[in-house]
Structure 1
Amino acid sequence: MNWEREILHKEEVEVELLEESTDLRNLVVYNDDVNTFDHVIETLIKVCRHTQEQAEQCTMLIHYKGKCTVKVGSYEELMGMCTSLHQKDLSADIE
């Protein structure tokens, strides 16, 4: 009987983890004709805590692809970052 309870508990934990991971959202930054590469890079480093290389790569994707997911997390985690990006005049949204 103990092993049955153990299996059921393990299945419940796995379901809970799956439910938590499905709540993840993407913070997406969109291209515009206003901001410079340097401004976008500096903002991603400050707001999203990117490394220089991450910020440069995301900025290139934003420029050439039109948008880039710059961070993945819960809505609550990303909301403050999204607001900060807007305050820096970047076009961003949580999807």
Structure 2
Amino acid sequence: MEFQEKLQEKLLIKEEVVKQNEIVLFNDDVNTFDHVIDTLIYACDHTPEQAEQCSILVHYKGKCTVKTGPYEDLKPRCSKLLQAGLSAEIV
């Protein structure tokens, strides 16, 4: 009887963990849906559908994550939102 020895290889996989920050947009009583949608398209590269969905979520839930990514990418985008009169922060 032959015995075959099976070797198990343990692979060590090193995963690079990249911290994903988020831009959170907050509801206000000042800005119109159209302004919010246009600004999300401009500042966050949203499609019109994405921007509309986010604006609805912000309106009914009070806030919505509108963009995720590295801080260096989000900082100028958040600045554009703030310059347009929206309430947003990077978390």
TM-score, reference length from structure 2? 0.85
* Unaligned 5+ runs, structure 2: 1-8
Matched position secondary structure for 1:27 = strand
Which blocks of at least 5 consecutive residues in structure 1 are unaligned? none
- Quick check: which one's helix share is greater? 1
Structure 2 residue 66 is matched with structure 1 residue 70: yes
Spell out, residue by residue over 1:9-36, the C-alpha distance to the aligned partner (whole angstroms, 9 max, x if none): xx12x2x2xx22xx10110100001000
Q: Where does residue 60 of structure 1 map in the other structure?
A: 56
- CA radius of gyration, larger in: 2
User: Shift of the alpha carbon at 1:7?
Assistant: 2.8
What is the total number of aligned residue pairs between the two structures?
83
- Per-residue CA distance 1:30-77 (angstroms, 9 max, x = gap): 000100000000000111010110000000000000001000101111
CA distance in 2, matches of 1:7, 1:30: 44
TM-score normalised by L of structure 1 = 0.82
Percent of residue pairs identical: 59
Q: Which amino acid aligns with 1:7?
A: L
